[in-house]
Amino acid sequence: MNKALDRFRDPLTARWEELFSAGANARDVERMLSRHGGPMPRMAGGADAPVTFPLDPVTVSGTEITLDMYVNSPTVITRAIAELSQLRLYAHKVFSPGPGVEGGAILFERPNPLLTDLFARRRTQEVAPGAQFPVQEFLRGVPMVAKPRKIGERFQVTKEEKKRNNPQIVLNAITQSGNTLVRDIEIMALGELNAVIAAESRTVAGQSWTTAAERTLTTKSASNQPLADLINAQVVIDLEERGHVLNAAIVNPLDWAMLVAIYGASNVASVLASAGFTDYTISPRQLRGKVKLYELGQVGVWSNEFPLDQSSWEEKETESWWYQWSVSPTFAVTDQYTLIELTGVT
């Protein structure tokens, strides 16, 4: 089951091998879809669907479909949107599945910024024979609250589009909806990370990777290369004594290009892994000159007040059908010490 789709609480059913195995014909696919309600195939980059009259029977071959299937099976559109969204969605790497949202918010604690919560408040004490053991005390976190934000959109299929069997109209809408969902979820997740980084001063200074790429054999050293910045960030985490290990990064494409120029396309992954970074995401929405470093799945939680939901209705006044989807995510950073941002690496 795909972890990204799990966050929407709308996982795709595992019907692809049965639906599109060799030898399955259009009638077989039609009967399976009507019986099981399986998801549609991935649509991005698909070819134009054939124009056939009459519209029944519906035909499905790879990414080629007829528009009538969408009108008669509206839930297929929701599943196709979710399928496209998982392709570049990375928020689930930063945020783990959270609890259900009750009362319009989730309550959580962040670690006390004054002392590490890895240990109790005081050290163990020597006890004299016959004496009572001292009562240990523990640090409590700082109570916080996070509220969900509902996002969504809708699109229209007219009677003429349905009659003329123009599936590209719907295919474009699905692709654009999926891309919009990915982008907006990404912006919301990064916005939460940026707010916590600023409020908790979770930054460490790096050095210019552009300058590092220009160094020659005589001027290059271990201390003036990007790998030194990544190692230094982990040292900062270690000195905080909170038991965390950085192993993932979010990098702007231009900064990633500098890493490739310095270490080579075939070596950059192994170089990052040598410093413990086994997962990385390249995103244009991450600011250039800054690299977010974090521990996979430990930064916080992602909860939805309402899962990915789709509804459709026929509008008689305009002789058209409307398709609408929405989701209500909330992101909460529950441990700011699993996150640090490397700055000044332009």
Domain ranges of the chain: 3-95+146-192+303-333, 201-300+336-343
Q: How crowded is residue 284: how many other Cβ atoms within 10 Å of its Cβ?
A: 11
pLDDT score, position 223: 92
Most confident of 5-9, 12-16, 330-334: 330-334
- In one-letter notation, the amino acid at residue 92 is H
- Render pLDDT for 314-341 as a digit per residue (tens, 0 to 9): 999 999 989 888 989 999 999 999 999 9
Report pTM.
0.73
> Domain 201-300+336-343: what homologous superfamily?
hypothetical protein PF0899 domain (3.30.2320.10)
pLDDT average, residue stretch 162-170: 73
pLDDT value of residue 163 = 77
Of the candidates 241, 336, 243, 240, the residue with the CA atom closest to the CA atom of residue 293? 336
234-279: per-residue pLDDT in tens?
Answer: 999 999 999 999 999 999 999 999 999 999 999 999 999 999 999 9
What's the rounded Cα separation, in Å, for the pair 296 and 238? 16
Burial state string for 319-330 with b = 16 or more CB within 10 A and e = fewer than 16:
ebbebbbebbbb
φ, ψ of residue 191 to 5 degrees: the values are -60, -40
Query: What value does the mean pLDDT take over residues 102-106?
Result: 90
Rounded distance between C-alpha atoms, residue 52 and residue 129, angstroms: 93
- Residue 4 is predicted with a pLDDT of 44
Please say if the pLDDT value at position 233 is more than 50.
yes
Reduced to 3 states (helix: H, G, I; strand: E, B; else coil), residue 264 is coil
301 to 52, 84, 101, 279: CA distances (angstroms) = 48, 23, 11, 19
**Cβ neighbours of residue 50 under 8 Å, at least 6 residues apart?**
59, 64, 66
pLDDT > 90 fraction of the chain, expressed in percent and rounded:
48
Predicted pLDDT at 123: 87
Cα angle, residue 88 at apex, residues 324 and 46 outer, rounded to 5°: 70
The two three-digit tokens of residue 248, written as one number:
């993932």
